[in-house]
Amino acid sequence: MASPFVVFLLMFAVPCSAIGVWPQPRYMSWPVHWATSLSPSFTITSPRHPYLSPAVARYLQLIKTEAYYPLTDLTVNLTNGPPLQALIVTVKDLAAPLSHGVNESYSLSIPTSSDKATLSAETAWGAMRGLETFSQLIWGKPSRVAAGVEVSDWPIYAYRGIMLDTSRNFYEVEDILRTIGAMSANKLNVFHWHITDAQSFPIVLPSEPDLAAKGSYGSGMQYSPANISRIVEYGLQHGVRILPEIDAPAHTGSWAGAHPEIVTCANMFWSPSGSAPLAAEPGTGHLNPLNPKTYQVVNNVVDDVTKMFPDPFYHGGADEINPGCWETDPLIQAYLAKNGTLSQLLEMFINSTLSYILSHNRTAVYWEDVLLGANVKVEASLLPPEHVILQTWNNGPNNTKKLVSSGYRTIVSSSDFYYLDCGHGDFIGNDSQYDQPPFTDQGNGGSWCGPFKTWQIIYNHDIAYNLTEEESKLVLGGEVALWSEQADPQVLDARIWPRASALAEALWSGNKDETGKKRYAQATDRLIEWRNRMVRRGIRAEPIQPLWCIKNPGMCNL
Amino acid sequence: MANPTVILLFIFAVRCRGISMWPQPRTMSWPVHSATPLSPSFAISSPYHRYLSVAANRYLKLIKTENYHPLVPQKVNLTNGPSLQTLIITVNNLAAPLTHGVNESYSLSIPMSGNRATLIAETAWGAMRGLETFRQLVWGKPRRVAAGVEVVDWPIYAYRGVMLDTSRNYYDVKDILRTIGAMSANKFNVFHWHITDAESFPVVLPSEPDLAAKGSYGSEFQYSPADISRIIEYGLQHGVRVLPEINAPAHTGSWAGAYPEIVTCSNMFWWPAGSNWADRLASQPGTGHLNPLNPKTYQVMKNVIDDVTEMFPDSFYHAGADEIIPGCWKADPLVQSYLAKNGTLSQLLELFVKSTLPYILSQNRTVVYWEDILLDSNIKVRSSLLPTEHVILHTWGNGPNNTKKVVSSGYRTIVSSSDFYFLDCGHGSFLGNNSQYDQPPFADQGKGGSWCSPFKTWQMIYNYDIAYNLTEEEAKLVLGGEAVLWSELADPEVLDPRLWPRASALAEVLWSGNRDEMGKKRYAAATDRLNEWRYRMVGRGVRAEPIQPRWCINNPGMCNTVHPFT
User: DSSP string spanning A520-550?
Assistant: HHHHHHHHHHHHHHHHHTT--PPP-S-HHHH
Give SS3 for A150: strand
**Shortest CA gap A14–chain B (Å):** 13
Q: What is the pLDDT of residues A504-535, one digit of tens each?
A: 999 999 999 989 999 999 999 999 999 999 99
The whole-number pLDDT of residue B15 equals: 37
Residues in chain B closer than 8 A to A544 (CB atoms): 430, 489
**Shortest CA gap B399–chain A (Å):** 7
Round to whole Å and give the CA distance between A240 and A182. 10
8 Å CB contact of A451 and B454: yes
The whole-number pLDDT of residue B16 equals: 44
Q: What residues of chain A, 97 to 126, have a C-beta less than 8 Å from chain B?
A: none
**Confidence band (pLDDT; 50, 70, 90) for B17?**
low
Residues in chain B closer than 8 A to A453 (CB atoms): 448
- Is the preceding peptide bond at B285 cis, omega within 30 degrees of 0? no
Give SS3 for B72: coil
Q: What is the pLDDT of residues B24-64, one digit of tens each?
A: 999 999 999 999 999 999 999 999 999 999 999 999 999 99
Structural contact between residues A92 and A122, judged by C-beta atoms closer than 8 angstroms: yes
Which amino acid is it at B467? A
8 Å CB contact of A558 and B560: no
8 Å CB contact of A542 and B489: yes
Is B323 an active-site residue? yes
Residues in chain A closer than 8 A to B426 (CB atoms): 423-424, 445, 450-452
Structural contact between residues B277 and B174, judged by C-beta atoms closer than 8 angstroms: no
Q: Which residue of A has its CA nearest to B534?
A: A490
CA A490 to chain centre: 19
8 Å CB contact of B550 and A200: yes
Mean pLDDT of A420-448: 94
**Confidence band (pLDDT; 50, 70, 90) for B79?**
confident
The whole-number pLDDT of residue A449 equals: 96
Look at residue A9 and tell me whether its pLDDT is greater than 60: no
Look at residue B18 and tell me whether its pLDDT is greater than 70: no
Look at residue B68 and tell me whether its pLDDT is greater than 80: yes
Residues in chain A closer than 8 A to B557 (CB atoms): 269, 429
Helix (H) / strand (E) element for A471: namely helix A469-472
User: Beta strands B84-93 and A34-45: pairing type?
Assistant: unpaired
The whole-number pLDDT of residue A19 equals: 80
Contact B241/A at CB under 8 A: no
Q: Quickly list DSSP for A413-449.
A: --HHHHBTTTTS----BS-GGG---TTS--TTTT-TT
Helices (H) and strands (E) in chain B, counts: 19, 19
Q: Which residue of B has its CA nearest to A427?
A: B548
Q: How far is CA B217 from CA A554, B171, B214, B311, in A?
A: 17, 11, 8, 22
Minimal Cβ distance to B459: which of A328, A431, A494? A431
Look at residue B8 and tell me whether its pLDDT is greater than 80: no
State the DSSP code for A83: P
Q: Quickly list DSSP for B35-65.
A: EEEEEEEEEEE----TTHHHHHHHHHHHHHH
| Nearest by Cα to B360 from B392, B323, B405 | B392
Q: A225: buried, middle or exposed (CB in 10 Å: 19+, 13-18, 0-12)? A: middle
8 Å CB contact of A434 and B487: no
Look at residue A10 and tell me whether its pLDDT is greater than 70: no
The whole-number pLDDT of residue A391 equals: 98
Inter-chain contacts counted by CB atoms under 8 A, chains A and B: 304
CA angle B185, B188, B190 (to 5 degrees): 135
| Nearest by Cα to A182 from A452, A492, A526 | A492
| Mutate: best of B416, B457, B458, partner A, most A CBs <10 A | B457
Round to whole Å and give the CA distance between B531 and B557. 13
Q: What residues of chain A, 257 to 296, have a C-beta less than 8 Å from chain B?
A: 268-273, 275, 282-283
Residues 6+ apart with CB under 8 A from B220: none
Minimal Cβ distance to B497: which of A11, A283, A491? A491
Round to whole Å and give the CA distance between A69 and A529. 10
**Confidence band (pLDDT; 50, 70, 90) for A284?**
very high
**Confidence band (pLDDT; 50, 70, 90) for A323?**
very high
8 Å CB contact of B559 and A168: no
| Mutate: best of B455, B529, B553, partner A, most A CBs <10 A | B455
Could you report how far apart the first and last alpha carbons of chain A are, in Å?
Answer: 21
- Is the preceding peptide bond at B454 cis, omega within 30 degrees of 0? yes
Q: What is the pLDDT of residues A85-98, one digit of tens each?
A: 999 999 999 999 99
Q: What residues of chain B, 265 to 324, have a C-beta less than 8 Å from chain A?
A: 268-273, 285-286
Round to whole Å and give the CA distance between A134 and A136. 5
Interface predicted TM-score (ipTM): 0.94
Whole-prediction pTM: 0.95
Q: What is the pLDDT of residues A478-497, one digit of tens each?
A: 999 999 999 999 999 999 99
Structural contact between residues B557 and A271, judged by C-beta atoms closer than 8 angstroms: no
Structural contact between residues B163 and B416, judged by C-beta atoms closer than 8 angstroms: yes
Q: What is the pLDDT of residues B295-352, one digit of tens each?
A: 999 999 999 999 999 999 999 999 999 999 999 999 999 999 999 999 999 999 999 9
Residues 6+ apart with CB under 8 A from B253: B198, B199, B263, B266, B267, B282, B286, B287, B288
Round to whole Å and give the CA distance between A174 and A194. 17
Q: Quickly list DSSP for B260-318.
A: GGGEETTT--SS-TT--GGG-SSSSS---EE-TT-HHHHHHHHHHHHHHHHH---SEEE
What ranges in A251-405 are assigned the alpha helix state H?
Answer: 292-308, 323-327, 330-337, 342-358, 369-372, 396-405
Residues in chain B closer than 8 A to A414 (CB atoms): 441
Mean pLDDT of A420-433: 95
Round to whole Å and give the CA distance between B490 and A197. 32
| Nearest by Cα to B17 from B558, B547, B529 | B529
Residues in chain A closer than 8 A to B330 (CB atoms): none
**Shortest CA gap A236–chain B (Å):** 29
Minimal Cβ distance to A416: which of B441, B554, B560? B441
User: Beta strands A241-248 and A190-196: pairing type?
Assistant: parallel
The whole-number pLDDT of residue A248 equals: 98
Q: What does the radius of gyration of chain A's CA atoms come to, in whole angstroms?
A: 25
**In this structure, how many other beta carbons lie within 10 angstroms of the beta carbon of residue A359?**
11
Among residues of chain B, what percentage have pLDDT more than 90?
A: 91
State the DSSP code for A141: T
Round to whole Å and give the CA distance between A400 and A380. 15
Look at residue B4 and tell me whether its pLDDT is greater than 70: no
User: Which of these ranges, B79-88, B167-176, B215-224, has the smallest mean pLDDT?
Assistant: B79-88
Q: What residues of chain B, 82 to 111, have a C-beta less than 8 Å from chain A?
A: none
- Is the preceding peptide bond at B73 cis, omega within 30 degrees of 0? no
**Confidence band (pLDDT; 50, 70, 90) for B14?**
very low
Contact A69/B at CB under 8 A: no
For residue A175, the number of C-alpha atoms closer than 13 Å in the C-beta half-sphere is 20
The whole-number pLDDT of residue B9 equals: 32
Residues 6+ apart with CB under 8 A from A281: A270, A428, A485
Q: What residues of chain A, 185 to 214, have a C-beta less than 8 Å from chain B?
A: 198-200
The whole-number pLDDT of residue B127 equals: 98
Q: What residues of chain A, 401 to 430, have a C-beta less than 8 Å from chain B?
A: 414, 416-417, 423-430
Q: Which residue of B has its CA nearest to A553?
A: B432
Residues in chain A closer than 8 A to B455 (CB atoms): 423-425, 445, 447, 450, 452
| Mutate: best of A416, A452, A463, A524, partner B, most B CBs <10 A | A452
Q: What is the pLDDT of residues A343-395, one digit of tens each?
A: 999 999 999 999 999 999 999 999 999 999 999 999 999 999 999 999 999 99
For residue B55, the number of C-alpha atoms closer than 13 Å in the C-beta half-sphere is 30
Q: Which residue of A has its CA nearest to B280?
A: A558
Q: Give B138's strand partners.
A: B145
Mean pLDDT of A229-254: 98
| Sign of CA pseudo-dihedral A110, A111, A116, A119 | negative
Residues in chain A closer than 8 A to B460 (CB atoms): 425, 434, 442, 445
The whole-number pLDDT of residue A13 equals: 30
Residues 6+ apart with CB under 8 A from A97: none
Helix (H) / strand (E) element for A162: namely strand A159-165
Round to whole Å and give the CA distance between B465 and B514. 8
| Mutate: best of B178, B269, B444, partner A, most A CBs <10 A | B269
**Confidence band (pLDDT; 50, 70, 90) for B566?**
low
| Mutate: best of A456, A457, A527, A542, partner B, most B CBs <10 A | A456
Look at residue A452 and tell me whether its pLDDT is greater than 60: yes
Look at residue A5 and tell me whether its pLDDT is greater than 50: no
Q: How far is CA A340 from CA A289, A374, B394, in A?
A: 12, 17, 66
Structural contact between residues B84 and B110, judged by C-beta atoms closer than 8 angstroms: yes
Q: Which residue of B has its CA nearest to A281?
A: B559
Round to whole Å and give the CA distance between A245 and B65. 40
**Confidence band (pLDDT; 50, 70, 90) for A274?**
confident
The whole-number pLDDT of residue A4 equals: 35
